[in-house]
Amino acid sequence: MTPRVSTLGDASIGEQAGLVSELLAHCGSDGALVAVQSTKDGIPTVWIKRQHLYDVLRYVKSELPRPFPMLFDLSATDERLRRNHDGLPIGTFTVFYHLFSFDRNQSLRIKVALDGESLSLPSSIDLWPNADWYEREIFDMFGIRFEGHPFLRRLLMPSWWEGYPLRKDHPSRATEVGLFQLPPDKLVMTQDALQFKPEEWGLPRTYHDRDSDFDYMFINLGPAHTGTHGVLRLVAQLAGEEIVNIVPDIGFHHRSQEKIAERQTWHTFIPYTDRVDYLQGVLNEMPYCLAVERLAGITVPPRAQVIRVMMSEFYRIASHLVWYGTFAGDVGALSPVFYMFNDRERILSIVEAVCGGRMHPNWLRIGGVARDLPIGWDQLVRQFIDWFPERLDDYERLVMDNPILKQRTVGIGVLSLEDAIAWGATGPMLRACGLPWDLRKVRPYSGYEQFDFEVP
């Protein structure tokens, strides 16, 4: 088989062809590798037979020279409405694994085609622990089962939900289904589903200590609780006053962006990206627009690229200030959040002057930005640049050097670099574990290679 390699992407043509050749040498002889797909994003993409999937995943994760230790993403696609398969395997569903190698600075995409008669795959939890929720989400949204998963139940939808929301035949609007009715028997069922039953989660009810048996205590936090910073339910398992386990329930605010996108045009979906993380603004719009531009072969003008970078970094600082302040508040330091929100307000004033919006700017466009920078923008930016560095020094002394905060954080919840990679941690979390990895440096986009900045 001769690999077809795209001319776009995060690795050179030679690197892509070399990786594909390595996989062909390992998988080609036994027929595990079905096809090599050429993609617009340039990520080497191979199709593997279902019965060989686990062996191939294990090989690229542990045995391949310069392996792929991180499971970056795992999801599925309903292929039943696809018209052009371009000689690729035909199935009703496709499951894809997006893997990442730091040694190679390269991604790898592995795909598996499934038909309607056998919607199941082997679980990869023993390879990557973060596959747990990925597989539960695929089961929840598509109805694809993962054999060997220790706790395969819905992740986002309630346990009594009928159907699989990301299938093409699932209704996307409330008006497409009948009136919602909640008869007494169904009400009892829904209320019973909210009860926490430790056995269903693999948690014991009792523990042994000092020759005696004791009962664990289970406490609900949320889904509406001031300490959770959002609609989130946490069930805490306590032995006395010590929390020994936490079970999160995260589906209370799921809106299915993917399903919404099915009834939007490429342009009209941009405002919805702002809602993915309401603190990130154009940082949500950027990856969407970059993906569409790469698919369409659109080149963004240099000035628009610089504007994108500037606004992205303002939103990044604003988002980090929210985290910084609320984190300090959570451990008992109440003053920092007020100072930091004041600085965030300065940033949002600049954002409002440029974009016209604050939290939901709807500013980027496919191919550029909505409009040029307004008159006087540079004065606003210079004022903030002159103001902010000293504030960061103040926060360092006020928060990070605070002895009480150190007592409550140092040595708590330590994550090793190996565990961080295994659990798919990225960004500041990965860098805090000792790997100075920043995509703006190692895979610059939107002109980031023109800027001189440090990776902390």
pLDDT in tens, 103-137: 999 999 999 999 877 899 999 999 999 999 999 99
pLDDT at 10 over 90: no
Residue 13 banded pLDDT, cuts 50, 70, 90 = low
The pLDDT assigned to 3 comes to 32
What's the rounded Cα separation, in Å, for the pair 270 and 66?
Answer: 37
The pLDDT assigned to 25 comes to 85
Q: Which of 74, 41, 15, 98 is nearest to 445 (CA)?
A: 41
pLDDT at 273 over 80: yes
Residue 398 banded pLDDT, cuts 50, 70, 90 = very high
The pLDDT assigned to 14 comes to 62
pLDDT at 139 over 90: yes
Segment 283-319, tens digit of pLDDT: 999 999 999 999 999 999 999 999 999 999 999 999 9
Tell me the percentage of the chain whose pLDDT exceeds 90: 70
Point out the least confidently predicted range of 15-24, 299-308, 388-397. Answer: 15-24
What's the rounded Cα separation, in Å, for the pair 206 and 194?
Answer: 21
Residue 175 banded pLDDT, cuts 50, 70, 90 = confident
* Helix ranges restricted to H, 81-168: 131-142
Segment 314-363, tens digit of pLDDT: 999 999 999 999 999 988 899 999 999 999 999 999 999 999 999 999 99
Q: Is the peptide bond before 89 cis (omega within 30 degrees of 0)?
A: no
Point out the least confidently predicted range of 248-257, 332-341, 382-391. Answer: 248-257
Q: Which of 101, 138, 142, 110 is nearest to 46 (CA)?
A: 110
The pLDDT assigned to 282 comes to 95
The pLDDT assigned to 12 comes to 55
pLDDT at 373 over 90: yes
Helix (H) or strand (E) holding 97, with range, is: strand 93-101
Residue 228 banded pLDDT, cuts 50, 70, 90 = confident
Tell me the percentage of the chain whose pLDDT exceeds 70: 96
The pLDDT assigned to 15 comes to 67
Looking at residues 364-379, what average pLDDT do you find?
Answer: 97
Q: Note whether 205 and 216 are within 8 A (CB).
A: yes
The pLDDT assigned to 7 comes to 32
The pLDDT assigned to 83 comes to 86
97 beta partners: 74, 110
Dihedral sign for Cα atoms in the order 269, 274, 275, 277: positive
pLDDT at 154 over 50: yes
The pLDDT assigned to 4 comes to 32
Please, what are the domains in the chain? 13-147 (3.30.460.80), 194-253 (no CATH), 257-412 (1.10.645.10)
pLDDT at 264 over 90: yes
Listed as own residue / partner, the contacts of 159-164 with beta carbons closer than 8 Å and 24 or more positions apart are: 159/193, 160/186, 160/189, 160/190, 160/193, 164/140
Helix (H) or strand (E) holding 258, with range, is: helix 257-261
Dihedral sign for Cα atoms in the order 448, 451, 454, 456: negative
Q: How many CB atoms lie within 10 A of CB 331?
A: 15
DSSP per-residue string spanning 42-78 = ---EEEE-GGGHHHHHHIIIIISSS---EEEEEEEEE
pTM over 0.95: no
The pLDDT assigned to 261 comes to 93
Segment 62-111, tens digit of pLDDT: 999 999 999 999 999 999 998 888 888 989 999 999 999 999 999 999 99
